[in-house]
Chain A
Amino acid sequence: METRRDIFQAIADPTRRAILLLLASHAMTPNALAEEFNSSRQAVSKHIQILSECELVKQEQKGREIYYHINADQMKEIDKWVEQFRKIWETRFNQLDKVLLTIKKEKK
């Protein structure tokens, strides 16, 4: 599927991954985003453009400012959110298994 390949290419870049990571916590203006990186606003907006083209990022006009949001629906296409969430619990509980085992051994 062509769209899918585009998404994968979009997130193959470390800066774009960092942008997604930031936007996952809250919406940001282009200037605020540029300040997070040691690069020009143009460079950041180029990355944003690529992310927007594959709909990973949406923009919203609020007064005079543009805010970028992460597009949750589209992120599902990469690696299903729910699967990710499930994975966290799986990892968390596998860690707990180890902790419980250690405590049981100490008690003996």
Chain B
Amino acid sequence: MNDLLFDFTLDKSKKTAFINREFDAELSLVWDAFTKKEILDQWWAPKPWSSKTKAMNFEPGGRRFYAMVSPEGMERWSIQKYTSISPKTNFKFLNAFADENENPDLPGSDWDISFSEEKGKTKVSVAIYNESLERMEKMIEMGFKEGFTMTMNYLEELLTTLSKR
């Protein structure tokens, strides 16, 4: 484990999730990790899921079309359409779930990712806005889906512990 800053808050009144995290690396490297598909695919999907970027052009109006792939090979596609890019400072995109033919399931959520460097560490701030609480719930549901294997492993451990009592 490390002592780098990590905080996560879900503000239902603002319909926004905020995630702040520090990385022990210079800003340009962290920026690359968020904006180059070769690096993104190495970390974007929480294991045991994997990330597969089919197409990505990182420019305003461009998009990343990618899938989260489950250990069983099930693909969950999403499109991130870049709405604004300020190099090494901030970028924004509209995220929508999609089918494998790149048809989006709108409305999506608005993502705003900011970067700042201090003393060799880079802070990343992610804000995810959903226009309705329903979408927020759905996003959390989808998040749950991605984390499902993890949850189940955790629950099975818990159940084993409980049954030993």
Q: Using a CB–CB distance below 8 Å, which chain A residues touch chain B? A: 8, 11-12, 17, 21, 24-25, 70, 72, 75, 78-79, 81-82, 84-93, 95-101, 103-104
Contact = CB atoms under 8 A, between A and B. Distances in A.
A72 B140 contact: yes
Contacts of A103: 25, 29, 33, 39
Query: Which of B33, B141, B142 has most chain A Cβ within 10 Å?
Result: B141
Given A11-B155, A97-B2, A87 B147 contact: yes
Contacts, number: 105
A95 B159 contact: no
Given A79-B154, A84-B151, A100-B30, 17 more contacts: A8-B158, A11-B152, A11-B155, A24-B142, A24-B145, A25-B76, A72-B140, A79-B151, A82-B140, A85-B147, A91-B150, A92-B45, A97-B4, A97-B24, A100-B33, A103-B39, A104-B25
A96 B33 CA distance: 8
Contacts of A84: 140, 143-144, 147, 150-151
B49 to A, nearest CB: 9
Indicate the size class of the contact surface on chain B. 35 or more
Contacts of B139: 85
B134 to A, nearest CB: 10
B48 to A, nearest CB: 10
A89 B79 CA distance: 19
Nearest to A8: B159
